[in-house]
Amino acid sequence: MLGSVATFGGGAIAQTDPLPSWNEGPVKKSITEFVARVTTQGGSDFVPVSERIATFDNDGTLWCEQPVYFQVAFAIDRVKAMAPQHPEWKTTQPFKAILDKDMKALAASGEKGLLPIIAATHAGMTVEDFTKSVLEWTATARHPRFNRPYIELVYQPMLELLSYLRANGFKTFIVSGGGIEFMRPWVEKVYGIPPEQVVGSSGEVKFQFGADGKPELMKLPKIEFVDDGPGKPVGINRFIGRRPIFAFGNSDGDLQMLQWTAAGEGARFAGLVHHTDATREYAYDRESKVGKLDKALDEAAAKGWPVVDMKQDWKTIFPDGTK
Amino acid sequence: MLGSVATFGGGAIAQTDPLPSWNEGPVKKSITEFVARVTTQGGSDFVPVSERIATFDNDGTLWCEQPVYFQVAFAIDRVKAMAPQHPEWKTTQPFKAILDKDMKALAASGEKGLLPIIAATHAGMTVEDFTKSVLEWTATARHPRFNRPYIELVYQPMLELLSYLRANGFKTFIVSGGGIEFMRPWVEKVYGIPPEQVVGSSGEVKFQFGADGKPELMKLPKIEFVDDGPGKPVGINRFIGRRPIFAFGNSDGDLQMLQWTAAGEGARFAGLVHHTDATREYAYDRESKVGKLDKALDEAAAKGWPVVDMKQDWKTIFPDGTK
């Protein structure tokens, strides 16, 4: 399935490295050995193609999540864009804090403050209109530190891993605490994962007939499902209906997905990305407000789960080698 | 993509009929013409493979739903099987009605009576144990009229249609009012549709650690989502995240799915199965308690949606030609 390169002059055939952005080391080895085990016909760990389910967290696992979850950056940008139609926001928190760029006041509003922001930017519109607003944002917004579109801040080694797994018969899924409709518009282009292979948090949606008499799906300001922590195995069961044999996360919100995956019979892979590279990306774990990695790090050590040391294990962080 | 047969002696190549159990007529023609339109590269109605989403109702569309929804038959059989562990059921309705085979009393308990039955047979166990109970039932239970396993009472013409669509790049999904976990254990074998391409009604599930210390998903006696009527486009949006270009149903519970599908831009197919064959299967529509087809039949007539007349359009009803 993998490409191969004929070395001129010698006649020998060298198989190309399917994971060129991964440094040689125990994590890379654990991945390629696992894939070899479950795909070797007749081997004791062979898994039929239909059961090769791989699930990946998104924020911090497939793309960057600092200095804030990118969906929060999207919501903040949307508040700014929508502000001309909402003069009352100039005097209403938490909107005022965003418009005043008063990040301290915004942080003080906490999770409670996030709800009206989510309601204003993620509801009260059809699913198609929301999709449009996401695509407009991914095409124009830029990350404050890297000055690149957010969807370019995906991890090159993980793109290679997704392709490598698919080339070996795996079906790759995203299982994210992020909003399912925030991811679906761009994941196919960016990760090669179709929208129907995304599991995520969601708001309620209502079927109705619009002013034009056509049926539409209206997004309501009510959270329906939180696909995080113990919600992840629940979401996997609901959307996929099979237990993964391979799962990758980066935070305590992924712990139960990893536990659920690892506890299945036969060969299983549960892995973590540890953000250890402040120079090329970010370094954070047990004390971080975003992507806290504490209990899952302990459990990985106890269970022997592979943990990516970003600084050590990844030759490149983002595509194009610019970092 | 379709098979072809070389006719000996002449040298001409005749393409085999991909829908051999469908009689020639306007419905068969509408299907093959639609598929030709959306798959003709360069044509004005061409649809890329990734957007070829086809959704099918299950009960009454892919398999039989009379004299009662097969999931109800399953629940009744499970009550009987579980009765030895529940001596109290001998004196408690609606369980008593089932054990006494008092179908009049069972019917009198109505939908309210169904809830404790669903709770007893579909909850209080892990998702794996529920799957086992479904597979045990599909392997042993027999339909009262046809004396065959329920999973053999699928419609041969629809099996051909599913294969035909897949051969033409479609991804086929089930979108059923039935329980998602009741369908997933057998749909891959029977329809060639993997569990992750099933949308259905669901109960709540909880992640917890079992007595053996292993993580498990426990089914709770609480309905979470009803994938019927206006719930169908909502379920499609939640699970698939794209609007289908092709949808098939057979009852008023499918109307909104068909409306949602038909209202999309470009070429769309919305079709209905009309049960008109009391001899080979069943004949029912506007007055039926199961699979009522009334408003959707009117809308199909008004919108020109193809309607299968089972008696006229289908050469064979069930596989193996036994009926």
The shortest CB-CB distance from B196 to any of A184, A231, A242 is to: A242
Residue the block writes with tokens 């809830």: B115
Lookup: tokens for A289: 């407000």
Yes or no, beta carbons of B239 and A239 under 8 Å apart: yes
B182 close to B192: Cβ distance less than 8 angstroms: no
Q: What is the pLDDT, as a whole number, of residue B10? A: 41
Yes or no, beta carbons of A234 and B198 under 8 Å apart: no
Find chain B residues with C-beta within 8 A of A241's C-beta.
180-181, 184, 195-196, 198
Local confidence band at B12 (pLDDT 50, 70, 90 cut-offs): very low
Q: Give the integer Cα–Cα distance in Å for A166 and A42.
A: 20
Taking the CA of residue A232 and the nearest CA in chain B, the distance in Å comes to 9
What are the start-end ranges of the E strands in B16-135? 53-56
Q: What is the pLDDT, as a whole number, of residue B1? A: 34
Nearest CA in chain A to B265: A214
Q: Give the integer Cα–Cα distance in Å for B214 and B236.
A: 33
Nearest CA in chain A to B183: A241
As a dihedral over the C-alpha atoms of residue B190, residue B193, residue B196, residue B197, rounded to 10 degrees, the angle is -130
Lookup: tokens for B185: 């254990």
The shortest CB-CB distance from B207 to any of A196, A206, A230 is to: A230
Query: H or E element: which one contains A271?
Result: strand A269-276
More confident residue, B323 or A193: A193
pLDDT tens for residues B81-99? 999 999 999 999 999 999 9
DSSP track, B183-235: HHHHHHHHHS--GGGEEEEEEEEEEEE-TTS-EEEEEEEEEEE--STTHHHHH
Tell me: cis bond preceding A319? Omega within 30 of 0 counts.
Answer: no
Yes or no, beta carbons of A207 and B260 under 8 Å apart: yes
Handedness of CA B50, B55, B58, B62 (dihedral sign): negative
> Could you tell me which of A183, A187, A155 has the C-alpha nearest to residue A172?
A187
The shortest CB-CB distance from B196 to any of A181, A230, A241 is to: A241
How big is chain B, counted in residues? 323
* Residue A118: burial class (beta carbons within 10 Å; 0-12, 13-18, 19+): middle
Bridge partners for B208 per DSSP: B216
Q: Give the integer Cα–Cα distance in Å for A186 and A209.
A: 27
Q: What is the pLDDT, as a whole number, of residue A14? A: 54
User: Which pLDDT tens digits describe chain A residue by residue (323 residues)?
Assistant: 333 333 334 444 457 999 999 999 999 999 999 999 999 999 999 999 999 999 999 999 999 999 999 999 999 999 999 999 999 999 999 999 999 999 888 888 887 888 899 999 999 999 999 999 999 999 999 999 999 999 999 999 999 999 999 999 999 999 999 999 999 999 999 999 999 999 999 999 999 999 999 999 999 999 999 999 999 999 999 999 999 999 999 999 999 999 999 999 999 999 999 999 999 999 999 999 999 999 999 999 999 999 999 999 999 999 985 54
Q: What is the pLDDT, as a whole number, of residue B14? A: 54
Q: Tell whether the model's pLDDT for residue B233 goes beyond 50.
A: yes
**Residues contacting residue A181 through CB under 8 Å, at least 6 positions apart:** A122, A127, A130, A131, A134, A200, A202, A203, A219, B241
Taking the CA of residue B303 and the nearest CA in chain A, the distance in Å comes to 13
DSSP single-letter state for residue B73: H
Yes or no, beta carbons of A240 and B206 under 8 Å apart: no
Mapping DSSP to helix (H, G, I), strand (E, B) and coil, where does residue B33 land? helix
Alpha helices in A83-140 (DSSP H): 95-99, 103-122, 127-140
Q: What is the pLDDT, as a whole number, of residue A2? A: 37
Taking the CA of residue B240 and the nearest CA in chain A, the distance in Å comes to 4
Nearest CA in chain A to B200: A238
Q: Tell whether the model's pLDDT for residue B240 goes beyond 80.
A: yes
Q: What is the pLDDT, as a whole number, of residue A245? A: 98
How big is chain A, counted in residues? 323
Q: Tell whether the model's pLDDT for residue B322 goes beyond 80.
A: no
What are the start-end ranges of the E strands in chain B? 4-6, 13-15, 53-56, 171-179, 198-209, 215-225, 246-249, 269-276, 283-284, 307-309
Residue the block writes with tokens 């209906």: A241
> Could you tell me which of B294, B320, B306, B318 has the C-alpha nearest to residue B35?
B306
Half-sphere exposure of B145 toward its Cβ, with a 13 Å CA cutoff?
A: 13
Lookup: tokens for A129: 């209109």
Q: What is the pTM of this model?
A: 0.93
* ipTM of model over 0.90: yes
- How far is CA A98 from its chain centroid? 25
Find chain A residues with C-beta within 8 A of B195's C-beta.
240-242
Q: Give the integer Cα–Cα distance in Å for A63 and A70.
A: 9
Q: What is the pLDDT, as a whole number, of residue A105? A: 87
Q: Tell whether the model's pLDDT for residue B8 goes beyond 50.
A: no
pLDDT tens for residues B22-36? 999 999 999 999 999
The shortest CB-CB distance from B195 to any of A184, A194, A241 is to: A241
Q: Give the integer Cα–Cα distance in Å for B224 and A295.
A: 30
Question: For B148-172, what is the mean pLDDT?
Answer: 98
Taking the CA of residue B233 and the nearest CA in chain A, the distance in Å comes to 7
Lookup: tokens for B224: 């979470």
Q: Give the integer Cα–Cα distance in Å for B173 and B181.
A: 15
Mutate to test the interface with A, among B184, B236, B238, B265 (most CBs of A within 10 A): B238
Angle formed at CA B54 by CA B53 and CA B58, multiple of 5 degrees:
140
Yes or no, beta carbons of A217 and B234 under 8 Å apart: yes
